[in-house]
Copies of this chain bind each other. A is one copy, B any other.
Amino acid sequence: MHFTAEQRLEDGVVERRFTLGDIPGILWTPATTSAPAPLILIGHPPLGLDRMYPRLAGRARYYAAEHGFAAATVELPGSGDRPRWPAAEQARADLRRAVETGVRPVPGEIVDALVLPLVERAVPEWQAALDALLALPGIGGPVGYEGGVISVGIRLAVAEPRIRAAGFFAGSLVPAAMFEEARRVTVPLQVLLQWDDEGNDRQAALDLFDAFGSREKTLHANMGGHTGVPQFELEPGARFFARHLK
């Protein structure tokens, strides 16, 4: 892990850009910490870190400045400046065509082709990032994961015992196979659902929530579309992680 840039922001949070091999990432840490800060991994859709930066930094800085968490994210495979691969490009083109021609629900084979290889590639990378991040001074376990891609989060929550709580965003297309995997998730969950999400099937999201094996799981459904998660959801998210990571 190499740090490539560092700045102290006006809220006192330190933002550091890093690379892990060829994977770019960002780490936010609180101004001061007495004990090692629990770490929250900030998930995001595969649209590139630069485009997602305002939303990711908003959440991460809130967690760090107001609640003393460290927060980190890495670029997903095939996003931002990272190399594409032909099958993923084909799946993205197929999805665009399905959406443009109003095919709903999006056919399962397109969802599978789009999401499953992303999960396969991304999860070991997030785990490698976790190894590197937890080796830094001032950052300690346990770890939380929050955001989408929910399928990446599901696989991580199942595969990675260092993750002790997850705040998922039920806003992406979910392969049928991930519903089965969801039954094996046992960590406490808080799931955000946008009730009128134009790109997401509400009933499928409720079915997925129902499928999770966790004994403690909470659904927060709010009005509005995909990007309309209310600002007031930041606080219960942080308090959820504080209950389980501190």
Interfacial residues, chain A to chain B (CB-CB below 8 A): 195, 206, 209-210, 214-223, 230, 232, 235-236, 239, 243
Contact partner of A210 (CB less than 8 A), chosen from B195, B209, B219, B239, is: B195
CB nearest neighbor in B for A240 = B232
Contact partner of A221 (CB less than 8 A), chosen from B215, B216, B218, B232, is: B218
Q: Report the bound CA distance from A232 to B244 in whole Å.
A: 12
* Beta-carbon contact of A232 and B243 below 8 Å: yes
Closest 5 CB pairs of A and B: A219-B221, A218-B222, A236-B236, A217-B223, A220-B220
11 A-B residue pairs with Cβ-Cβ distance under 8 Å, sorted by A, are: A195-B210, A195-B219, A206-B206, A209-B221, A215-B223, A216-B222, A218-B221, A218-B230, A219-B222, A220-B220, A236-B239
Which residues of B have CB within 8 Å of A216?
222-223, 230
- Give min CB distance, A208 to chain B, whole Å: 13
Q: Report the bound CA distance from A235 to B215 in whole Å.
A: 20
CB nearest neighbor in B for A191 = B221
Q: Report the bound CA distance from A50 to B235 in whole Å.
A: 35
- Given A236-B236, A239-B235, A243-B232, answer yes or no on A220-B223 (Cβ-Cβ < 8 Å): no
Which residues of B have CB within 8 Å of A222?
216-219
- Give min CB distance, A188 to chain B, whole Å: 10
Which residues of B have CB within 8 Å of A209?
221
Which residues of B have CB within 8 Å of A232?
239, 243
Which residues of B have CB within 8 Å of A210?
195
Q: Report the bound CA distance from A158 to B92 in whole Å.
A: 47
Which residues of B have CB within 8 Å of A223?
214-218
CB nearest neighbor in B for A243 = B232
Contact partner of A218 (CB less than 8 A), chosen from B220, B239, B243, is: B220
Which residues of B have CB within 8 Å of A236?
236, 239
Which residues of B have CB within 8 Å of A214?
223
Q: Report the bound CA distance from A239 to B220 in whole Å.
A: 15
Q: Report the bound CA distance from A210 to B214 in whole Å.
A: 26
